[in-house]
Amino acid sequence: MKIGIFSTKKFEEAYFNQLNTGHHELIFIEEGLHTNTVSLAKTCEGIALFSNDDCSEEVLRLLKKETAVKYIATRSAGTDHINLEVAKQLGFSVANVPQYSPYAIAEHVIAMILALNRKLILADRQVKNYNFLLDDLIGFDLHGKTVGIIGLGRIGGILAKIIHGFGCTILGFDLIKNERLEKKFGVTYTDLNELYKNADIICLQTPLNEHTKHLINQEAIAKMKHGVILINASRGGVVNTEDLIAGLKSGKIGAAGLDVYEKEKGMYFFDHSHEILQDDIFARLLTFKNVLITGHQAFLTSNAIVNIVEETMKHIQDWSLQKKATNELF
């Protein structure tokens, strides 16, 4: 089977080549999938996407009309970049990787919390400037603090496990209650208003959909504790960035850790260091000393990459044998 792998990262190619059984022709495409790159998959039976690829209705219809593509494998748990309803209508088979390494993302969230709280980035800069003053480096004990987790699926559950080990009180919000998390890690399920009101740290681990788009907005921020730490390692669109900036300026939000950004498509995963930054909102984010930004790398461990590639190759192998893929969505 001939597969076009869009948004290929250099670190992925070796893993794909190693796991390819030789039965499949893998075409590595550095560009992301969008209307102008559909033609690159013209002779492919399947495509493998990344989370920032555009698989909207327009792109899907072009794929159906202009290519031989029947199968779509996304190298992510989230599917918000794919119009699943249209994909189903057009007869595409779609599969994702629902569990590649929840530990990778949960541990990245913890790293962000600790780095922000203990001012590690600032401390490193000061020491490198031969400045050993401690006045601006005061943090707080994580033990005893209240952490709110919005989204207690696989990643949120692992995060709760780790946070429990620090001795934190854990508030959770999810449409489905997990009794194991309640009993084993002391998670108290509550509504969003109570979570906003009581949490010292809020972690977002929810998918992006019509219900969570700009979940964190001016109204939500107004309900939060003054000086709250906000961590987003889910999807950028869950946070209204302009409202976040207003919250940072007022001090309502004491610090923010962002692994994702709502307008990251076309920016993240590429080297723009020689270009003029055109996004004024992102430029404003960069000015805050109490904001830690990483470029959608929370998933990036060798364990996760191996799992993602393995699952993607399994999907391709299943489809080549005319079988339904393990994680096929419909």
66 part of the active site: no
Stretch (H or E) spanning 27: strand 25-28
In the numeric block, which tokens belong to residue 185?
Answer: 């890690």
Pick from 9, 6, 20: nearest CA to 305: 9
CA–CA–CA angle 265, 12, 66 (5° rounding): 60
Which of 45, 154, 235, 311 is catalytic? The answer is 235
Which of 12, 45, 262, 264 is catalytic? The answer is 264
Are residues 255 and 234 in contact, defined by beta-carbon separation less than 8 angstroms? no
25 part of the active site: no
Are residues 109 and 159 in contact, defined by beta-carbon separation less than 8 angstroms? yes
Which DSSP category does 55 fall into?
A: B
Can you tell me the distance from the alpha carbon of 31 to that of 12, in angstroms, rounded to the nearest whole number?
14
Contacts of 275 (CB under 8 A, 6+ apart): none
Contacts of 98 (CB under 8 A, 6+ apart): 77, 154, 327
Residues labelled as active-site residues:
235, 264
